[in-house]
Structures are given as C-alpha cells and as structure tokens.
Structure 1
C-alpha cells in the first residue's frame, strides 16, 4: 500500500495532473517574480489540499472517485 501511495504522491505526478488535466493554474494567484508561472511544488500542494478537503468533507470513496476522474491512479 505504501508503494502505491508513494507513486501517486510524487510531486511531478501531482504537478502534471494539476497543470494538464485540471487546469488549476488558471485559479492560482501567480507571483510576478516567478514569471507568472506556478511552481511544481505549489501545484502539487494544491492538488493534495483539494483531495484532503474532499476527504474531510466526505469520505475516502469520494476521494477515490475524484482521483479516478482526474486520472490520478496507479
């Protein structure tokens, strides 16, 4: 189980999901000093925070459903 969680939680994997699949960068305030780009860690942290909020507001089944919908599965 830990291997599955580790492979899903890789910052690069979460960054890819956030940028390419969900277009979250459109909703994150950008820092002008970084060329209005969203750093990889910021995007990965945002995806993690969204999944955590879903978990706190509902249950693990809904988190799994959202992860499947955004192609964040192993």
Structure 2
C-alpha cells in the first residue's frame, strides 16, 4: 500500500473533500460505514419499488443501476 499526502478541504465528520496529488479537481471521500448505510437504504428503496414494477423494464434504467449497486460485490465473498 502506498502512502501519499492529500489536500483536505473540509473539517472532520463522516465525509471529506480531498484533492489527490496529480488531480485537477477534488473528490469526495465517504467513510465505509456511512457508505454501507447508504447502500442499505438504496436496497430498501429497490425492494419497495419492486411490487410496482408493472411497466416494461428497459435495460440501463435507474432500477437496473440500483440493483447492481445493491448486489453483493465479488470481493465481499472472499
């Protein structure tokens, strides 16, 4: 694992805005536990919408994207 110095644009909390070396624009860092909560909330929303899924589904729809985000990742199984 490499160590590097990043510019920090925010103070404390569960998220941070940082700029990594060599990058023009800053990015957002979200703590893993906070990201897990967001993923869980999204999974609940997908399940709540499932009964109303009477319209023809289109590949690439927001619901398909949400399903990909809420499915277990291959690395989680390791």
TM-score, normalised by the number of residues in structure 2: 0.30
TM-score, normalised by the number of residues in structure 1: 0.31
RCO comparison, higher one (Cα < 8 Å, 6+): 1
Task: Give the structure with the larger helix fraction.
Answer: 1
Task: Give the structure with the larger strand fraction.
Answer: 2
Larger-Rg structure: 2
